[in-house]
Amino acid sequence: MISGLRKIWPLLAAILLMSVGNGLQGSLVGVQAAIANFSSTTTGIIASGFSLGLFISAIVTPNAVRSVGHIRVFAAYASVLSTAVLLIPVYVDPVWWFIMRLLIGICAAGLAIVIETWLNEGSSNDDRGMILSLYMLLYYTGAGLGSLALLINDPSGFVRFIVVSAVMSLSLVPIALTRVRAPVLGAPRRISIREIYVASPLAVVAAVVNGLGQSAFFNLGAVFGVMHGMSLPYVSLMMAVAPMAVLLSQMPVGWLSDRYDRRFMIAVLSAVAAGVAAITVFVPSTQAFFMIGLVALFGGISMPLYSLAIAHANDHLSKDQMLAAGSKLVLLYGIGAIAGPSIVGGFMQMFGAAGFMMFLTATYGLLGIYAFYRMTQSQVRSPETTGDLVPVTPMATALTAELVAEEMAGHDSKATGQSEMRR
C-alpha cells in the first residue's frame, strides 16, 4: 500500500493543487460579479458556463486523449485554464466572463479525466478504495483551502486571479514527475439512461438534483454571503467549512448506508439538509458564526448524497451495467449542474439573499419526498447484497464512477465469498 502511494503521490499532489484553484476561482468569480453589480441572474448564468464546460469536456476529452496522449492533453488544458483565469478581470463583461468560465470548465474537467485515468492505472484492486478515499479527502480539503484564499488582500482586483492561475500552473509539475505509465483509454461501454432509470429511478433523480444543489452552492454561495451582508472574511470561512465538513460526515454516512436502506438514508439526509437550509433563511446578518455553523452542517449532510446516488444505482445493476452506467450518471449530474446556478440566480433576483436558501430548501426537500415515495414502491435490499459506499466528489468524471463501480463490485464479491465459506 505504501509503495503504491509512493508511485502515485504526484497525481495526488496535482489533485490537491487543482482543488485549491477550483475552490478559489468558483467563489472569486461570484464575489467579483457582485462587486461589478451584475444581477444575480447574470451571475448565475456566468457560473453555469463552468458546468457547461464540464459537460462538454466529458464528451470531447476522452477522444483527445486517445488521439494525442495524456501528457499533451494535460499540458494544453493546464495552459489554457491558467490563461483563461488571468483573462477574466481584463474585461468586466458578463459575456466575456461566461466564455472564460466555459473554457475553465472544459479544461478543469479534462485535467480531472487525465489524472483519474492515471490513478486507475496506478491502483490495484487491493488499494483502489483507499485511493478513492484519498481523492475525496484531497478534493474537499483543497476546495476549503481555496475558499480561504479570498482573504488575500486584493485592492487591484487582479491578485486573487493571479494566485488561481499560479496554483493551476503548478499542478502541471507533479504530473511531469509521475512514474506511472500513461494508460490507454478503452472504448466506452453502452447503457441507456432509460435502463438505469428502470433499475433505479431514485438514482437518476438524485444525480440530477445533486447537480442542481451542489453546483448552485459552490458557484453562488459566496454571492449569497455578500448579499446577506457578511464581510469577506466570514464569506471565505463559510465557503471553506462546508466542503471540509464532508470529511467528518462521510465515514458515518457510509457506515450507516452500508447497513440500512440507502433510500432511507437519501430521504433522511435530504430532509435534514432542506430543514437546515430553511432555518438559515431566518438567520440575521449579525449572527455570522451561527450562519457559518449552519452552512457547515448543510455541507456535511448534503454533499455525501451524490455518493449515495451512485451507490444506490450500482446496487441494482450487474457489474457490466455498473461500469457502463458511470458515464451516464456523471452526465445526469452535469445536466443538473448546468441548470443549478442559473435557476438559483433567478431565485436570488426575485427574493434577495433568502432566495439562495429557498432554492436549496425546495431542491433537497423534493428529493427527500421522492426518496420516501420510492421506499413504498419496492422491498428493501439486504445489506449483504449491496456493495460498500465509496466517496465521490462533485468533480467526478465517468472514470471515477467506473472505479467506484469496480470497488463496489469487488466488495460485493468478497462479501459473497465469505458468506459462502461460512455456510
156-204 confidence digits (pLDDT tens): 778 888 888 888 888 778 776 766 665 555 555 677 888 888 888 998 9
* Helical ranges in 228-318 per DSSP H: 232-257, 262-280, 288-302, 305-315
User: What ranges do the domains of the chain cover?
Assistant: 2-179+191-422
Q: Which residue has the higher pLDDT, 255 or 87?
A: 87
39-83 confidence digits (pLDDT tens): 999 999 999 998 898 888 878 887 887 788 777 888 888 889 889
82-101 confidence digits (pLDDT tens): 899 999 988 999 999 999 99
Q: Cell 437550509 identifies what position?
A: 277
pLDDT for residue 260 is more than 60: yes
394-415 confidence digits (pLDDT tens): 666 666 666 666 666 555 554 4
Q: Which three cell numbers stand for residue 143?
A: 476546495
292-345 confidence digits (pLDDT tens): 999 999 999 999 898 888 888 878 777 666 666 767 777 888 899 999 999 999
* Cα angle 177, 181, 186; round to 5: 135
Mean pLDDT confidence for 125-148: 78
Angle between helices 398-422 and 305-315 (to 10 degrees): 60
The residue among 321, 292, 309, 283 whose CA lies nearest residue 389 is 309
pLDDT (0 to 100) of residue 43: 92
Distance between CA atoms of residues 22 and 387, nearest Å: 31
| CATH code for the part of the protein at 2-179+191-422 | 1.20.1250.20
- Judge residue 321's burial from the number of C-beta atoms within 10 Å of its C-beta, 0-12 exposed, 13-18 middle, 19 or more buried: middle
Q: How many CB atoms lie within 10 A of CB 384?
A: 10
* Cα angle 172, 174, 178; round to 5: 115
* pTM: predicted TM-score of the whole model, two decimal places: 0.84
C-alpha to C-alpha distances, 95 to 80, 99, 344, nearest whole angstrom:
18, 6, 19
